[in-house]
Structure 1
């Protein structure tokens, strides 16, 4: 579940209507509109919500954009999605508000988008401060119980929705955007290198450019090499820029401490079970061991990814005895199986123009397909102006 407030209802609707044109979305409900959803044009939808917003010209922020995400194992009829969405809108106090319901069919998990206005019929504005935390979250849990949905506890449902992105199997940008967004907001990592490791596990590589001032994302093959057209971080809906990743790394440092002792206990328990292999024993505890190897073939580090706690630690962060050199001397020499684990190779900083040169438009140097990103780029420009 994600709630975003904005100022451009026209841009939001055009975004979803472009999805309909490409065959990756369907508008299945138009609540509070005078005509049936099948008879509404794009202009009808925009005009209805814009007219409501005009009742309060002082309110600059007037648009509500909500996404409801479900577990990949679940499937719904349009009628069920309409019923769930109606219950949700009623629960958060938007029952009387006109809204559009879009079903997207371009992801690995079922999800819908709700587009509405926060301006009421009398011209007053619905308060949205802490709507997600104090109102929406309890409503979500009630709906999960009422409709017998898979619970989205602590982000576990969303993580199930990550599939290993396959080049050509789905729209590249969408697969990258969804994977990066979930990893970025679900796991705790304290370095960009740890973030890169997580992404590579799920088939995406993050590549710094311009001396770490920019960031590109690309799908990768089984060897971890970039494949296909790279995407700029600023073009992604999750806006996973290098600056934002650094901020999250700094914020995560203090949050990680509570998970450290539990991970150490798992590692120590695994060291007592060499019969099935040290790494294999850790995998049973949902911990992945990742060795870092230089281009010369020398092991220089190790990381532990605890999928159960959604946290990543470098071995040295856990203590000197869990560094790569210490583990190689005390553990690996007695456990030949572990050394066969695939290594995650660090990517070198690359030149932006070297990769993107052939992909730029001659008219204005913009990415192909950028016209579909106008809504998100508009929001980003507004944010930059405010800052």
Structure 2
């Protein structure tokens, strides 16, 4: 379980944010602590705000009086509402907030069901609850709760790198959140040297990026926008500015990542291993579909780009074992776009430097693909990840709206300090 603690002064903002989830049927109030319940069991933003008045009016010195806490169990941990409330109450008790007024909200707008708690750090006598080292204390409390309730430890999950990206499904809504969960974290797990390589990787998750160039007051400015793709690879959403997803999704960060990847991949042994694997598979297959299918068994994706006339102008190999992305020409002429265009259209014979290769059917299936039925592999396409869910290590399911809300609260706080 992962806990996040937000600190601010906007009580209305945090309560209204959670109420929007309730209004859209993506959330509900699970419980109140040290707050009077309404007569009819329904609540409003104004009603809940009034419950905090005695505490907030008792202290005019503390700037950030509001705490907005989220508790995020692992998606595989099934917890009913009763257990969620029990976990929330135990967490708040161990954080010394058991006598404070607080509201427990459950959010269900993403695959990972989680809870939010709104409270204040001001006691009824006006004294502030000390929050020194509270993040470290919070982590220790989460580890204890995991043991007590038999939850999957967050530290174990992170060290085993089992967190998953998910392909974007444009027809299921929350496109911005879906794109954010991919583009903000891919550079942390994959090395790619060019914008084309980045886009090839994005295509596995039904996303594409485009550079936007222009001038502002005579100065050249470059930007980046992201789109969701449909099952045919066509744009299926409005453009989303990279700035919506943070600096790590922007063009400047990506260019620095390109440079770092070039240095790291230059001496990487993954290149020769990937080249040998591709050449051995190529020597024993005669069609594009079979080549892709057999590479998939080895944990390798190939993304082929064609122009309107059907000519292949780009080939990118994505090695999920080494988490690296390679242009075909980087691996060799016999793995370049020109070669595949000739081989798969006019039957030019591939270069084979190894006469002692085993038959392709004897190659072991890569462990990443152990769970895939052979029938699925027989019908594999370049967008195969869409059909079988997530297999690639990635980021935790994250609600982009929550991140965006936290960032807006921080910006408001900074503006207030400037005015002072």
Give TM-score scaled by structure 2 length.
0.63
Q: Which moved more, 1:148-157 or 1:25-34?
A: 148-157
Shift of 1:14: 0.6
Corresponding residue for residue 240 of structure 1: 246
Residue 110 (structure 1) aligned with residue 85 (structure 2): no
Q: Which moved more, 1:281-290 or 1:164-173?
A: 281-290
Q: Which ranges of structure 2 fall in alignment gaps of 5 or more residues?
A: 215-220, 344-349, 353-359, 361-376, 384-400
Select which of 259, 267, 277 maps to 1:270. Answer: 277
Matches within 5 A, 1:314-353: 314=326, 322-323=330-331, 325=333, 327-328=335-336, 333=350, 342=382
- Closer/same/farther in 2, CA of residues 111 and 372 from structure 1, 3 Å limit: closer
Select which of 168, 172, 188 maps to 1:169. Answer: 172
The alignment partner of 2:238 has SS state of strand
Q: Which ranges of structure 1 fall in alignment gaps of 5 or more residues?
A: 344-370
Q: Deviations over 1:320-343 (max 9, x none)?
A: x95464644999935999xx9749
The alignment partner of 1:11 has SS state of helix
The alignment partner of 1:206 has SS state of strand
> Highest CA radius of gyration, 1 or 2?
2
The CA distance in 2 between the partners of 1:93 and 1:71, in whole Å, is: 25
For CA contacts below 8 A with separation 6 or more, give which structure has more relative contact order.
2
Select which of 49, 57, 60 maps to 2:60. Answer: 57
Matches within 5 A, 1:64-79: 64-79=67-82
Shift of 1:173: 3.6
The CA distance in 2 between the partners of 1:266 and 1:92, in whole Å, is: 51
- Closer/same/farther in 2, CA of residues 59 and 150 from structure 1, 3 Å limit: same
The CA distance in 1 between the partners of 2:183 and 2:409, in whole Å, is: 19
Q: Deviations over 1:111-157 (max 9, x none)?
A: 222333344455225336671xx334444343333323344422845
Does the 8 Å CA contact 2:302/2:382 hold for their aligned counterparts? Answer: no
Matches within 5 A, 1:8-27: 8-27=10-29
Corresponding residue for residue 35 of structure 2: 33
Shift of 1:18: 1.3
The CA distance in 1 between the partners of 2:199 and 2:65, in whole Å, is: 37
Residue 126 (structure 1) aligned with residue 138 (structure 2): no
The CA distance in 1 between the partners of 2:130 and 2:37, in whole Å, is: 25
Q: How many residues align?
A: 345
Corresponding residue for residue 98 of structure 1: 101
Corresponding residue for residue 365 of structure 2: none
The CA distance in 2 between the partners of 1:144 and 1:157, in whole Å, is: 18
Q: Which moved more, 1:210-219 or 1:16-25?
A: 210-219
- Closer/same/farther in 2, CA of residues 35 and 323 from structure 1, 3 Å limit: same
Select which of 220, 236, 249 maps to 1:227. Answer: 236
- Closer/same/farther in 2, CA of residues 261 and 242 from structure 1, 3 Å limit: closer
The CA distance in 1 between the partners of 2:94 and 2:269, in whole Å, is: 38
Q: Which moved more, 1:14-23 or 1:177-186?
A: 177-186
Shift of 1:26: 0.8
Q: Deviations over 1:187-207 (max 9, x none)?
A: 566665555444332223334
Select which of 241, 251, 256 maps to 1:250. Answer: 256
